[in-house]
Structure 1
Amino acid sequence: MKYALVTGGSRGIGKAICLQLAADHKYNILLNYHSNMAAAEETKSEVEAIGVKCELLKFDVSDLEATQTSIESWRSENPGAIIEVLVNNAGITKDGLFIWTNQEAWSKVIDTSLNGFYNVTQSLLKEMLRKRYGRIINIVSLSGLKGNPGQVNYSAAKGAMISATKALAQEVGKRKVTVNAVAPGFIHSDMTSNFDEEELKKLIPVNRFGDPEEVASLVCFLASERSSYITGEVININGGLYS
Protein backbone atom coordinates (compact mmCIF):
# COMPACT_ATOMS: atom_id res chain seq x y z
CA MET A 1 0.00 0.00 0.00
CA LYS A 2 1.47 3.34 -1.05
CA TYR A 3 1.43 6.45 1.11
CA ALA A 4 2.34 10.12 0.98
CA LEU A 5 3.46 11.82 4.20
CA VAL A 6 2.61 15.51 4.52
CA THR A 7 3.98 17.42 7.51
CA GLY A 8 1.82 20.21 8.86
CA GLY A 9 -1.01 18.71 6.86
CA SER A 10 -4.07 19.73 8.85
CA ARG A 11 -4.69 23.25 7.53
CA GLY A 12 -3.98 25.69 4.71
CA ILE A 13 -1.51 24.61 2.04
CA GLY A 14 -0.81 21.31 3.82
CA LYS A 15 -4.49 20.37 3.87
CA ALA A 16 -4.88 21.23 0.18
CA ILE A 17 -1.87 19.04 -0.63
CA CYS A 18 -3.31 16.08 1.30
CA LEU A 19 -6.62 16.35 -0.54
CA GLN A 20 -5.02 16.76 -3.96
CA LEU A 21 -2.58 13.85 -3.54
CA ALA A 22 -5.52 11.67 -2.56
CA ALA A 23 -7.71 12.84 -5.45
CA ASP A 24 -5.10 12.94 -8.23
CA HIS A 25 -2.86 9.99 -7.36
CA LYS A 26 -4.98 7.93 -4.95
CA TYR A 27 -2.20 8.01 -2.41
CA ASN A 28 -3.12 7.02 1.10
CA ILE A 29 -2.21 9.95 3.34
CA LEU A 30 -0.09 10.13 6.46
CA LEU A 31 -1.07 13.47 7.93
CA ASN A 32 1.38 14.90 10.43
CA TYR A 33 0.19 17.57 12.82
CA HIS A 34 1.56 19.07 16.01
CA SER A 35 -1.29 20.40 18.16
CA ASN A 36 -4.58 21.07 16.35
CA MET A 37 -6.31 17.71 16.58
CA ALA A 38 -9.72 19.08 15.55
CA ALA A 39 -8.34 20.43 12.27
CA ALA A 40 -6.42 17.19 11.66
CA GLU A 41 -9.55 15.08 12.23
CA GLU A 42 -11.54 17.29 9.87
CA THR A 43 -8.93 16.97 7.11
CA LYS A 44 -8.76 13.21 7.70
CA SER A 45 -12.52 12.94 7.13
CA GLU A 46 -12.30 14.96 3.90
CA VAL A 47 -9.43 12.82 2.60
CA GLU A 48 -11.23 9.58 3.42
CA ALA A 49 -14.33 10.85 1.63
CA ILE A 50 -12.21 10.71 -1.54
CA GLY A 51 -11.83 6.98 -1.04
CA VAL A 52 -8.33 6.48 0.41
CA LYS A 53 -6.96 5.94 3.89
CA CYS A 54 -5.77 8.82 6.03
CA GLU A 55 -3.82 8.22 9.22
CA LEU A 56 -2.83 10.90 11.70
CA LEU A 57 0.72 11.13 13.04
CA LYS A 58 1.04 13.58 15.92
CA PHE A 59 4.60 14.78 16.47
CA ASP A 60 6.66 17.95 16.48
CA VAL A 61 8.93 17.81 13.41
CA SER A 62 11.60 19.76 15.30
CA ASP A 63 11.93 16.88 17.80
CA LEU A 64 14.12 14.19 16.23
CA GLU A 65 13.32 11.48 18.77
CA ALA A 66 9.56 12.08 18.60
CA THR A 67 9.67 12.12 14.80
CA GLN A 68 11.62 8.87 14.54
CA THR A 69 9.53 7.13 17.19
CA SER A 70 6.24 8.08 15.52
CA ILE A 71 7.35 6.97 12.05
CA GLU A 72 8.94 3.74 13.26
CA SER A 73 5.87 2.88 15.32
CA TRP A 74 3.66 3.38 12.28
CA ARG A 75 6.00 1.25 10.16
CA SER A 76 5.91 -1.61 12.64
CA GLU A 77 2.11 -1.57 12.51
CA ASN A 78 2.07 -1.38 8.68
CA PRO A 79 4.87 -3.69 7.53
CA GLY A 80 3.77 -3.81 3.88
CA ALA A 81 3.27 -0.07 3.45
CA ILE A 82 5.57 2.13 1.38
CA ILE A 83 5.98 5.89 1.78
CA GLU A 84 6.74 7.09 -1.75
CA VAL A 85 6.12 10.81 -1.35
CA LEU A 86 7.27 13.19 1.37
CA VAL A 87 6.07 16.78 1.49
CA ASN A 88 8.00 18.85 4.05
CA ASN A 89 5.39 21.52 4.63
CA ALA A 90 5.54 22.18 8.39
CA GLY A 91 6.72 25.66 9.24
CA ILE A 92 6.05 28.54 11.59
CA THR A 93 6.69 32.27 11.61
CA LYS A 94 7.73 34.51 14.48
CA ASP A 95 8.03 37.81 12.65
CA GLY A 96 9.73 40.96 13.82
CA LEU A 97 12.71 43.14 13.03
CA PHE A 98 15.98 41.25 13.48
CA ILE A 99 17.26 43.71 16.09
CA TRP A 100 14.34 42.68 18.33
CA THR A 101 14.40 38.95 17.48
CA ASN A 102 15.22 36.94 20.59
CA GLN A 103 17.00 33.61 20.56
CA GLU A 104 13.79 31.63 21.07
CA ALA A 105 12.09 33.25 18.06
CA TRP A 106 15.19 32.57 15.97
CA SER A 107 15.67 28.96 17.04
CA LYS A 108 12.03 27.89 16.93
CA VAL A 109 11.59 29.00 13.31
CA ILE A 110 14.89 27.37 12.25
CA ASP A 111 14.10 24.19 14.21
CA THR A 112 10.66 23.72 12.66
CA SER A 113 11.51 24.35 8.99
CA LEU A 114 15.16 23.38 8.62
CA ASN A 115 15.68 20.80 11.36
CA GLY A 116 12.19 19.48 10.65
CA PHE A 117 13.32 18.86 7.05
CA TYR A 118 16.33 16.93 8.40
CA ASN A 119 14.41 14.93 10.99
CA VAL A 120 11.60 13.72 8.73
CA THR A 121 13.64 13.24 5.54
CA GLN A 122 16.33 11.27 7.41
CA SER A 123 13.63 8.94 8.71
CA LEU A 124 12.30 8.14 5.22
CA LEU A 125 15.20 8.46 2.77
CA LYS A 126 16.86 5.05 3.22
CA GLU A 127 13.66 3.23 2.32
CA MET A 128 13.20 5.39 -0.79
CA LEU A 129 16.77 4.62 -1.87
CA ARG A 130 16.27 0.89 -1.27
CA LYS A 131 13.03 0.93 -3.28
CA ARG A 132 14.73 3.06 -5.98
CA TYR A 133 11.84 5.49 -6.11
CA GLY A 134 10.79 8.55 -4.17
CA ARG A 135 9.52 12.10 -4.38
CA ILE A 136 10.62 14.68 -1.81
CA ILE A 137 8.98 18.09 -2.10
CA ASN A 138 9.99 20.89 0.24
CA ILE A 139 7.62 23.81 0.72
CA VAL A 140 9.85 26.86 0.98
CA SER A 141 8.90 30.49 0.38
CA LEU A 142 9.36 33.66 -1.55
CA SER A 143 11.11 34.80 1.65
CA GLY A 144 13.81 32.18 1.16
CA LEU A 145 14.62 33.47 -2.33
CA LYS A 146 14.11 37.21 -2.07
CA GLY A 147 14.46 37.76 1.65
CA ASN A 148 11.70 39.56 3.48
CA PRO A 149 12.13 42.37 6.03
CA GLY A 150 10.74 41.36 9.38
CA GLN A 151 11.37 37.71 8.55
CA VAL A 152 15.13 37.26 8.83
CA ASN A 153 14.63 34.03 10.79
CA TYR A 154 12.06 32.63 8.35
CA SER A 155 14.10 33.75 5.32
CA ALA A 156 17.17 32.05 6.79
CA ALA A 157 15.30 28.79 7.42
CA LYS A 158 13.70 28.64 3.98
CA GLY A 159 16.90 29.76 2.21
CA ALA A 160 18.76 26.92 3.89
CA MET A 161 16.07 24.46 2.82
CA ILE A 162 16.51 25.64 -0.77
CA SER A 163 20.25 24.93 -0.66
CA ALA A 164 19.63 21.55 1.00
CA THR A 165 17.14 20.68 -1.75
CA LYS A 166 19.72 21.32 -4.46
CA ALA A 167 22.46 19.37 -2.69
CA LEU A 168 20.34 16.34 -1.74
CA ALA A 169 18.95 16.09 -5.27
CA GLN A 170 22.50 15.50 -6.53
CA GLU A 171 23.12 12.76 -3.97
CA VAL A 172 20.04 10.64 -4.64
CA GLY A 173 19.13 11.20 -8.30
CA LYS A 174 20.71 7.94 -9.48
CA ARG A 175 18.24 6.02 -7.32
CA LYS A 176 15.26 7.69 -9.00
CA VAL A 177 14.53 9.82 -5.96
CA THR A 178 13.84 13.43 -6.90
CA VAL A 179 14.07 16.40 -4.53
CA ASN A 180 12.43 19.69 -5.41
CA ALA A 181 11.21 22.82 -3.67
CA VAL A 182 8.05 24.84 -4.18
CA ALA A 183 8.26 28.51 -3.24
CA PRO A 184 4.83 30.10 -2.71
CA GLY A 185 4.33 33.85 -2.65
CA PHE A 186 1.26 35.33 -1.01
CA ILE A 187 -1.25 32.49 -0.60
CA HIS A 188 -4.54 32.65 1.29
CA SER A 189 -3.79 30.89 4.59
CA ASP A 190 -3.49 31.43 8.33
CA MET A 191 0.01 32.82 7.79
CA THR A 192 -1.27 35.62 5.55
CA SER A 193 -4.58 36.29 7.28
CA ASN A 194 -3.24 39.47 8.92
CA PHE A 195 -1.63 40.83 5.75
CA ASP A 196 -3.06 43.87 3.97
CA GLU A 197 -4.22 42.02 0.87
CA GLU A 198 -5.58 45.09 -0.91
CA GLU A 199 -2.22 46.84 -0.73
CA LEU A 200 -0.02 43.81 -1.35
CA LYS A 201 -1.89 42.57 -4.40
CA LYS A 202 -0.91 45.82 -6.15
CA LEU A 203 2.65 44.45 -6.18
CA ILE A 204 1.59 41.17 -7.81
CA PRO A 205 1.35 41.14 -11.62
CA VAL A 206 -1.72 38.89 -11.61
CA ASN A 207 -3.27 41.23 -9.01
CA ARG A 208 -4.38 38.69 -6.42
CA PHE A 209 -3.25 36.29 -3.72
CA GLY A 210 -2.99 32.63 -4.66
CA ASP A 211 -5.11 29.79 -3.32
CA PRO A 212 -3.76 26.74 -1.48
CA GLU A 213 -5.24 24.50 -4.18
CA GLU A 214 -2.98 26.12 -6.77
CA VAL A 215 0.10 25.23 -4.74
CA ALA A 216 -1.26 21.72 -4.23
CA SER A 217 -1.63 21.19 -7.99
CA LEU A 218 2.04 22.01 -8.51
CA VAL A 219 3.07 19.71 -5.67
CA CYS A 220 0.99 16.91 -7.18
CA PHE A 221 2.79 17.25 -10.50
CA LEU A 222 6.16 17.02 -8.76
CA ALA A 223 4.89 13.99 -6.83
CA SER A 224 4.01 12.17 -10.05
CA GLU A 225 6.08 10.01 -12.37
CA ARG A 226 5.63 12.70 -15.03
CA SER A 227 8.13 14.88 -13.20
CA SER A 228 10.93 12.28 -13.26
CA TYR A 229 13.43 14.53 -15.10
CA ILE A 230 12.93 17.47 -12.74
CA THR A 231 15.12 17.49 -9.63
CA GLY A 232 17.04 20.04 -7.60
CA GLU A 233 14.68 22.77 -8.75
CA VAL A 234 12.95 25.59 -6.90
CA ILE A 235 9.66 26.40 -8.59
CA ASN A 236 8.07 29.74 -7.83
CA ILE A 237 4.32 30.08 -7.52
CA ASN A 238 3.76 33.73 -6.75
CA GLY A 239 1.71 35.38 -9.49
CA GLY A 240 4.81 36.89 -11.04
CA LEU A 241 5.84 38.79 -7.90
CA TYR A 242 9.41 37.46 -7.94
CA SER A 243 10.55 34.99 -10.57
Structure 2
Amino acid sequence: MPAVSRSRPVALLTGAGRERGIAAGVARKLAAEGWDVAFSYWRGYEDRMPWGRDAADPATALGDRLRELGARALALEADLTDPEVPARLFDAAERELGPVQALVMLHCESVGSDLLGTSVESFDRHFAVNARATWLLVREFGLRFDGPADRGRIVAFTSDHTVGNLPYGASKGALDRIVQAAAKEFAGRGITANVVNPGPVDTGWMSESQRADVTRWTPLGRLGTPEDAAHLVAFLLSAEGGWINGQLLYSNGGL
Protein backbone atom coordinates (compact mmCIF):
# COMPACT_ATOMS: atom_id res chain seq x y z
CA MET A 1 0.00 0.00 0.00
CA PRO A 2 1.43 3.44 -0.89
CA ALA A 3 2.26 5.79 1.95
CA VAL A 4 -0.69 8.01 2.90
CA SER A 5 -0.42 11.29 4.79
CA ARG A 6 -1.95 11.05 8.25
CA SER A 7 -1.91 14.77 9.00
CA ARG A 8 -5.72 14.61 9.22
CA PRO A 9 -7.48 11.68 10.92
CA VAL A 10 -9.90 9.61 8.84
CA ALA A 11 -13.55 9.00 9.68
CA LEU A 12 -15.74 6.40 7.96
CA LEU A 13 -19.36 7.53 7.99
CA THR A 14 -22.42 5.63 6.75
CA GLY A 15 -25.86 6.71 5.57
CA ALA A 16 -25.04 10.00 3.82
CA GLY A 17 -27.57 9.73 1.01
CA ARG A 18 -29.40 13.04 1.42
CA GLU A 19 -28.13 16.60 1.62
CA ARG A 20 -30.67 17.39 4.36
CA GLY A 21 -29.87 14.26 6.33
CA ILE A 22 -28.07 14.00 9.66
CA ALA A 23 -25.16 12.09 8.12
CA ALA A 24 -24.41 14.84 5.62
CA GLY A 25 -24.49 17.41 8.42
CA VAL A 26 -22.10 15.32 10.49
CA ALA A 27 -19.78 14.84 7.52
CA ARG A 28 -19.62 18.60 6.90
CA LYS A 29 -18.88 19.28 10.56
CA LEU A 30 -16.11 16.69 10.71
CA ALA A 31 -14.53 18.07 7.55
CA ALA A 32 -14.56 21.55 9.06
CA GLU A 33 -13.03 20.16 12.28
CA GLY A 34 -10.05 18.66 10.47
CA TRP A 35 -11.14 15.15 9.51
CA ASP A 36 -10.88 13.41 6.17
CA VAL A 37 -14.14 11.60 5.47
CA ALA A 38 -15.11 8.44 3.63
CA PHE A 39 -18.90 8.23 3.43
CA SER A 40 -21.32 5.62 2.18
CA TYR A 41 -24.80 6.01 0.75
CA TRP A 42 -27.37 3.79 -0.95
CA ARG A 43 -29.70 5.34 -3.50
CA GLY A 44 -31.73 2.14 -3.67
CA TYR A 45 -33.05 2.95 -0.20
CA GLU A 46 -33.87 6.55 -1.05
CA ASP A 47 -35.78 5.36 -4.12
CA ARG A 48 -38.09 3.29 -1.92
CA MET A 49 -38.85 6.15 0.46
CA PRO A 50 -41.51 8.86 0.00
CA TRP A 51 -38.98 11.68 -0.35
CA GLY A 52 -36.98 9.92 -3.10
CA ARG A 53 -33.36 10.54 -3.98
CA ASP A 54 -31.72 13.96 -4.21
CA ALA A 55 -31.35 15.34 -7.71
CA ALA A 56 -27.57 15.57 -7.21
CA ASP A 57 -25.47 12.46 -6.70
CA PRO A 58 -24.09 12.50 -3.10
CA ALA A 59 -20.70 11.49 -4.48
CA THR A 60 -20.55 14.83 -6.26
CA ALA A 61 -22.60 17.18 -4.08
CA LEU A 62 -21.42 16.14 -0.62
CA GLY A 63 -17.96 15.12 -1.79
CA ASP A 64 -17.34 18.54 -3.34
CA ARG A 65 -18.60 20.31 -0.21
CA LEU A 66 -16.23 18.32 2.02
CA ARG A 67 -13.31 19.17 -0.24
CA GLU A 68 -14.24 22.85 -0.09
CA LEU A 69 -13.94 22.52 3.70
CA GLY A 70 -10.40 21.21 3.35
CA ALA A 71 -11.02 17.47 3.64
CA ARG A 72 -10.10 14.61 1.41
CA ALA A 73 -13.40 12.88 0.66
CA LEU A 74 -14.33 9.46 -0.64
CA ALA A 75 -17.89 8.53 -1.64
CA LEU A 76 -18.90 4.87 -1.60
CA GLU A 77 -22.26 3.59 -2.79
CA ALA A 78 -22.97 0.53 -0.68
CA ASP A 79 -25.90 -1.79 0.01
CA LEU A 80 -25.49 -2.81 3.65
CA THR A 81 -27.85 -5.76 3.28
CA ASP A 82 -24.79 -7.47 1.77
CA PRO A 83 -22.63 -8.85 4.61
CA GLU A 84 -19.50 -8.48 2.47
CA VAL A 85 -19.89 -4.72 2.19
CA PRO A 86 -18.57 -3.54 5.61
CA ALA A 87 -15.10 -4.99 4.97
CA ARG A 88 -15.11 -3.49 1.48
CA LEU A 89 -15.89 -0.04 2.89
CA PHE A 90 -12.90 -0.24 5.19
CA ASP A 91 -10.69 -1.56 2.39
CA ALA A 92 -11.61 1.39 0.17
CA ALA A 93 -11.24 3.99 2.93
CA GLU A 94 -7.83 2.65 3.94
CA ARG A 95 -6.64 2.44 0.35
CA GLU A 96 -7.68 5.98 -0.60
CA LEU A 97 -7.44 7.94 2.67
CA GLY A 98 -5.54 5.86 5.24
CA PRO A 99 -6.35 3.98 8.45
CA VAL A 100 -9.77 4.74 9.93
CA GLN A 101 -9.73 6.38 13.36
CA ALA A 102 -13.48 6.94 13.78
CA LEU A 103 -16.56 5.01 12.69
CA VAL A 104 -19.82 6.98 12.63
CA MET A 105 -22.92 4.99 11.69
CA LEU A 106 -26.07 6.72 10.47
CA HIS A 107 -27.29 4.16 7.93
CA CYS A 108 -30.74 2.72 8.47
CA GLU A 109 -33.69 0.83 7.08
CA SER A 110 -36.87 2.52 8.29
CA VAL A 111 -40.22 1.44 6.88
CA GLY A 112 -43.05 1.78 9.38
CA SER A 113 -45.24 -1.21 10.30
CA ASP A 114 -46.86 -2.46 13.49
CA LEU A 115 -46.80 -5.79 15.31
CA LEU A 116 -49.59 -7.28 13.21
CA GLY A 117 -48.61 -5.78 9.87
CA THR A 118 -44.85 -6.41 9.76
CA SER A 119 -43.77 -8.94 7.15
CA VAL A 120 -40.95 -11.40 7.65
CA GLU A 121 -39.12 -9.85 4.69
CA SER A 122 -39.31 -6.37 6.22
CA PHE A 123 -38.27 -7.62 9.65
CA ASP A 124 -35.24 -9.40 8.21
CA ARG A 125 -34.21 -6.42 6.08
CA HIS A 126 -34.34 -4.08 9.08
CA PHE A 127 -32.18 -6.39 11.13
CA ALA A 128 -29.76 -6.95 8.25
CA VAL A 129 -29.16 -3.20 7.85
CA ASN A 130 -29.65 -1.78 11.34
CA ALA A 131 -28.22 -4.59 13.46
CA ARG A 132 -26.11 -7.01 11.41
CA ALA A 133 -24.35 -4.36 9.33
CA THR A 134 -23.67 -2.37 12.49
CA TRP A 135 -22.09 -5.41 14.13
CA LEU A 136 -19.98 -6.14 11.04
CA LEU A 137 -18.79 -2.53 10.79
CA VAL A 138 -17.95 -2.43 14.50
CA ARG A 139 -16.16 -5.77 14.26
CA GLU A 140 -14.16 -4.60 11.25
CA PHE A 141 -13.13 -1.41 13.05
CA GLY A 142 -12.05 -3.38 16.11
CA LEU A 143 -9.93 -5.71 14.00
CA ARG A 144 -8.22 -2.92 12.07
CA PHE A 145 -7.74 0.01 14.45
CA ASP A 146 -4.05 0.56 15.18
CA GLY A 147 -3.97 3.88 17.04
CA PRO A 148 -3.24 6.55 18.02
CA ALA A 149 -3.69 5.23 21.55
CA ASP A 150 -7.02 6.12 23.16
CA ARG A 151 -8.26 7.93 20.04
CA GLY A 152 -10.40 5.26 18.41
CA ARG A 153 -14.05 6.32 18.25
CA ILE A 154 -17.33 4.58 17.45
CA VAL A 155 -20.60 6.53 17.35
CA ALA A 156 -23.93 5.05 16.20
CA PHE A 157 -27.32 6.70 15.89
CA THR A 158 -30.38 5.04 17.36
CA SER A 159 -34.09 5.62 17.94
CA ASP A 160 -36.71 4.62 20.50
CA HIS A 161 -39.54 4.84 17.98
CA THR A 162 -40.96 1.32 18.21
CA VAL A 163 -44.77 1.58 18.51
CA GLY A 164 -46.14 1.39 14.98
CA ASN A 165 -42.59 0.99 13.74
CA LEU A 166 -41.72 -2.43 15.11
CA PRO A 167 -38.86 -3.67 12.89
CA TYR A 168 -37.09 -0.32 12.97
CA GLY A 169 -37.32 0.14 16.72
CA ALA A 170 -36.47 -3.47 17.54
CA SER A 171 -33.42 -3.50 15.27
CA LYS A 172 -32.24 -0.18 16.69
CA GLY A 173 -32.50 -1.72 20.15
CA ALA A 174 -30.13 -4.44 18.97
CA LEU A 175 -27.79 -1.75 17.61
CA ASP A 176 -27.66 -0.14 21.06
CA ARG A 177 -26.46 -3.35 22.70
CA ILE A 178 -23.88 -4.07 20.00
CA VAL A 179 -22.26 -0.67 20.35
CA GLN A 180 -22.37 -0.69 24.15
CA ALA A 181 -20.67 -4.10 24.11
CA ALA A 182 -17.87 -2.58 22.03
CA ALA A 183 -17.29 0.03 24.73
CA LYS A 184 -16.22 -2.76 27.10
CA GLU A 185 -14.72 -5.28 24.70
CA PHE A 186 -12.62 -2.72 22.80
CA ALA A 187 -11.47 -0.70 25.82
CA GLY A 188 -8.06 -2.33 25.76
CA ARG A 189 -7.65 -1.27 22.13
CA GLY A 190 -8.07 2.43 22.95
CA ILE A 191 -11.57 2.70 21.44
CA THR A 192 -14.63 4.39 22.91
CA ALA A 193 -18.15 3.53 21.69
CA ASN A 194 -21.33 5.51 22.23
CA VAL A 195 -24.88 5.65 20.93
CA VAL A 196 -26.75 8.88 20.17
CA ASN A 197 -30.53 9.25 20.13
CA PRO A 198 -31.19 12.57 18.35
CA GLY A 199 -34.97 12.50 18.66
CA PRO A 200 -37.06 13.76 15.72
CA VAL A 201 -34.81 15.82 13.44
CA ASP A 202 -36.16 18.01 10.67
CA THR A 203 -34.65 16.41 7.57
CA GLY A 204 -37.68 16.78 5.32
CA TRP A 205 -39.75 13.76 6.35
CA MET A 206 -42.17 15.53 8.72
CA SER A 207 -45.63 16.70 7.79
CA GLU A 208 -46.70 20.16 8.91
CA SER A 209 -48.75 18.64 11.74
CA GLN A 210 -45.75 16.58 12.89
CA ARG A 211 -43.54 19.66 12.82
CA ALA A 212 -46.04 21.53 14.95
CA ASP A 213 -46.41 18.65 17.41
CA VAL A 214 -42.67 18.10 17.87
CA THR A 215 -42.09 21.83 18.33
CA ARG A 216 -44.81 21.94 20.98
CA TRP A 217 -43.48 18.86 22.81
CA THR A 218 -39.87 20.09 22.92
CA PRO A 219 -39.10 22.36 25.91
CA LEU A 220 -36.74 24.48 23.82
CA GLY A 221 -39.58 25.18 21.38
CA ARG A 222 -37.92 24.24 18.11
CA LEU A 223 -37.10 21.26 15.91
CA GLY A 224 -33.78 19.48 16.03
CA THR A 225 -31.37 19.96 13.13
CA PRO A 226 -28.57 17.87 11.62
CA GLU A 227 -26.15 20.48 12.93
CA ASP A 228 -27.29 19.80 16.52
CA ALA A 229 -26.33 16.16 16.09
CA ALA A 230 -23.10 17.06 14.32
CA HIS A 231 -21.85 19.17 17.23
CA LEU A 232 -22.21 16.21 19.59
CA VAL A 233 -20.47 13.79 17.24
CA ALA A 234 -17.56 16.18 16.75
CA PHE A 235 -17.14 16.40 20.53
CA LEU A 236 -17.32 12.63 21.01
CA LEU A 237 -14.64 12.16 18.35
CA SER A 238 -12.35 14.77 19.91
CA ALA A 239 -9.68 14.18 22.55
CA GLU A 240 -11.89 16.08 25.00
CA GLY A 241 -14.70 13.57 24.45
CA GLY A 242 -12.57 10.56 25.28
CA TRP A 243 -13.93 10.03 28.80
CA ILE A 244 -17.46 9.43 27.50
CA ASN A 245 -17.85 5.73 26.79
CA GLY A 246 -20.58 3.11 26.68
CA GLN A 247 -23.36 5.68 26.84
CA LEU A 248 -26.73 6.09 25.15
CA LEU A 249 -26.92 9.87 24.88
CA TYR A 250 -30.18 11.75 24.32
CA SER A 251 -29.48 14.88 22.29
CA ASN A 252 -33.06 15.92 21.63
CA GLY A 253 -33.67 19.28 23.26
CA GLY A 254 -35.42 17.65 26.21
CA LEU A 255 -38.25 16.08 24.19
Q: Secondary structure at the match of 2:179?
A: helix
State the Cα deviation string for residues 78-115 of structure 1 (Å, max 9, x = none). Answer: 4x812101001101211022201111221222211111
Asked whether the equivalents of residues 9 and 17 of structure 1 are also in contact (C-alpha less than 8 Å), the reply is no
Letter in 2 for 1:135: R
Structure 2 runs not aligned, ≥5 long: 1-5, 44-52
- Residues paired across the two proteins, number: 234
RMSD: 2.0
Within 2, Cα distance between the matches of 1:211 and 1:219? Answer: 13
Q: 1:207 is matched with which residue?
A: 221
| Corresponding residue to 1:183 among 181, 197, 210 | 197
Letter in 2 for 1:8: G
Within 2, Cα distance between the matches of 1:142 and 1:195? Answer: 20
| Corresponding residue to 1:44 among 47, 57, 63 | 63
Q: Secondary structure at the match of 1:56?
A: strand
Moved more, 173-182 or 184-193: 184-193
Asked whether the equivalents of residues 41 and 58 of structure 2 are also in contact (C-alpha less than 8 Å), the reply is no
Q: Indicate how the Cα distance of structure 1 residues 71 and 128 shifts in structure 2: closer, same or farther if over 3 A, else same.
A: closer
Q: 2:37 is matched with which residue?
A: 29
Asked whether the equivalents of residues 192 and 246 of structure 2 are also in contact (C-alpha less than 8 Å), the reply is yes
Asked whether the equivalents of residues 62 and 119 of structure 1 are also in contact (C-alpha less than 8 Å), the reply is no
State the Cα deviation string for residues 158-190 of structure 1 (Å, max 9, x = none). Answer: 111112222110111122200001111110114
Within 2, Cα distance between the matches of 1:31 and 1:61? Answer: 13
Identity value in percent: 25
Moved more, 189-198 or 54-63: 189-198
Pairing 1:1-243 to 2, within 5 Å after superposition: 1=6, 2-11=9-18, 12-24=21-33, 26-35=34-43, 38-75=57-94, 77-78=95-96, 81-128=98-145, 132=149, 133-143=151-161, 148-192=162-206, 196-241=210-255
Asked whether the equivalents of residues 110 and 153 of structure 1 are also in contact (C-alpha less than 8 Å), the reply is yes
Shift of 1:43: 0.7
Shift of 1:129: 5.1
Runs of 4+ residues deviating >4 angstroms: none
Q: Secondary structure at the match of 1:97?
A: coil
Shift of 1:200: 3.0
Moved more, 66-75 or 184-193: 66-75
Q: Secondary structure at the match of 1:121?
A: helix
Within 1, Cα distance between the matches of 2:22 and 2:60? Answer: 16
Shift of 1:70: 4.0
Moved more, 225-234 or 96-105: 96-105
Structure 1 length-normalised TM:
0.88
Q: Secondary structure at the match of 2:22?
A: helix
Structure 2 length-normalised TM:
0.85
Q: 2:47 is matched with which residue?
A: none
Asked whether the equivalents of residues 8 and 90 of structure 1 are also in contact (C-alpha less than 8 Å), the reply is yes
Shift of 1:140: 0.8
